Structure 1
Amino acid sequence: MPNRKRLSPDESRAAAIAAARDLLREQGVAAITLKAVGGRVGRTHANLLHHFGSVAGLHRALADDIAHSVADSIVAAIGRMRRGQGRLKDVIEGMFDAFRTEKVGELIAWVAMTGQREALDPLVDAIAEVVRDISAPGDERPLDRATLGLVLLAVGDSLAGEEVARACGLPATAARDIAVQQVIAVLAGRPVIG
């Protein structure tokens, strides 16, 4: 057996999460098994069990990693918008791109369908952190409602947005356009449907 590079526990976890993320992007969440991840990083099934406890633990760590990177990109986009270097539409499109690229909808659906709902905690925490970060003191706009609608649209879009838009005879960007309109309406205190 070839000599494997000795990694610290943190390096080993990070390599496994990166491999799981690549598998998610390339093949979907069903491909994220301890055996597949171990094969990518040159580690044994037992080694990954030591770090994550189970494949559910690996899914939770992956959800945590994705949630924080997506949340960081959203907060950064909001910061650019506040500095006049972007628009609300750019923030929303960036969020939709991140959700689609990272297959957030598929990961959430898999976690929910397999009864691992606690693995969604990192995503829930990251969303709550985004709402706190974007809320300026004294801002009375319903940012919580705008964020709820936006996240749910982005999750659905990342899961089957292109296919549903095509079935409706709309461009693949239709959900993004609807999200922009809805967020603007919610923040302005106007009814979204009316």
Structure 2
Amino acid sequence: MTISPTKRRKRSATEARDEALAAARSLLLERGPAAVTLANVGRAIAMSHTNVIHHFGSAAGLQTALMEAMIRDLADALGDAVSALYVDADAPTRLVDRVFDAFGKGGAGQLAAWLVLARELDYFDSLEQAVADLVAAVRARVPDSPDSEARIRDIVLLVAVSAFGDALIGPHLRRMLGQEAGAMRQLIAQILPLLIAPPPRG
């Protein structure tokens, strides 16, 4: 969705900050990290450059606040996926959808790429508990076997890295290959049951 400038209006400090972060997120998703500037955010929400600086201090402050907000959103999305794994009969497919949505529509793929390129790797520490919870939830779905712990971690790694890659270059590769939008999701959803089921005993 393209950001359209809005008319200036009175708003609380919290509203102004939230609107600025929403605009910054849209700029990141539509135009990339270079577009996340004080001027562009101010223009998008009809706020003066001075007021944007008042709320964030600097462009770096705005970008840091956006990173922190998006990391929290990603942790929440992973938490939703964890909850679904415990109660949903179709949990493996739902897990794929939720994680792919978080990295795609939710912007986590763009965020992760931005953090890596900016060498802001400390932000990933905030996801450690969410990932540990996801591992625990997958463990509850995987039958116990000598290699179950390795398969659990393989599942989490496969889904997360596939979702990240699909968010960044999936649309371009699918176009080259003549595949539909959900091709990668469907592939992972087909592979997942093979990883969940214990290997046949020889």
TM-score for the superposition, normalised by structure 2 = 0.71
Cα distance, 1:6 vs structure 2: 5.2
Unaligned segments of structure 2, at least 5 residues = 1-6, 141-147
Q: Give the aligned partner of residue 96 of structure 1.
A: 100
Tell whether the 8 Å contact from 1:92 to 1:176 is kept in structure 2 after alignment: yes
The alignment yields a C-alpha RMSD, in angstroms, of 3.1
Tell whether the 8 Å contact from 2:37 to 2:59 is kept in structure 1 after alignment: yes
Q: Does residue 117 of structure 1 match 2:115? A: no
Tell whether the 8 Å contact from 1:103 to 1:159 is kept in structure 2 after alignment: no
Q: Which structure has the larger Rg over C-alpha atoms?
A: 2
Corresponding residue to 1:69 among 69, 73, 81: 73
Task: Give the AA of the match of 1:36.
Answer: N
Change (3 A) 1:45 1:182: farther
Tell whether the 8 Å contact from 2:29 to 2:110 is kept in structure 1 after alignment: no
Quote the sequence identity (%): 34
Task: Give the AA of the match of 1:87.
Answer: A
Tell whether the 8 Å contact from 1:141 to 1:187 is kept in structure 2 after alignment: no
Q: Does residue 18 of structure 1 match 2:22? A: yes
Tell whether the 8 Å contact from 2:103 to 2:110 is kept in structure 1 after alignment: no
TM-score for the superposition, normalised by structure 1 = 0.73
Change (3 A) 1:152 1:84: closer
Cα distance, 1:71 vs structure 2: 2.6
Listed as ranges, the matches of 1:1-194 within 5 Å are 4-5=9-10, 7-8=12-13, 10-84=14-88, 86-113=90-117, 116-118=118-120, 120-126=121-127, 128-134=128-134, 135=136, 141-142=149-150, 143-187=152-196
Unaligned segments of structure 1, at least 5 residues = none
Tell whether the 8 Å contact from 1:105 to 1:156 is kept in structure 2 after alignment: yes
CA distance in structure 1 between the aligned counterparts of 2:60 and 2:197, rounded to whole angstroms:
41
Change (3 A) 1:173 1:3: closer
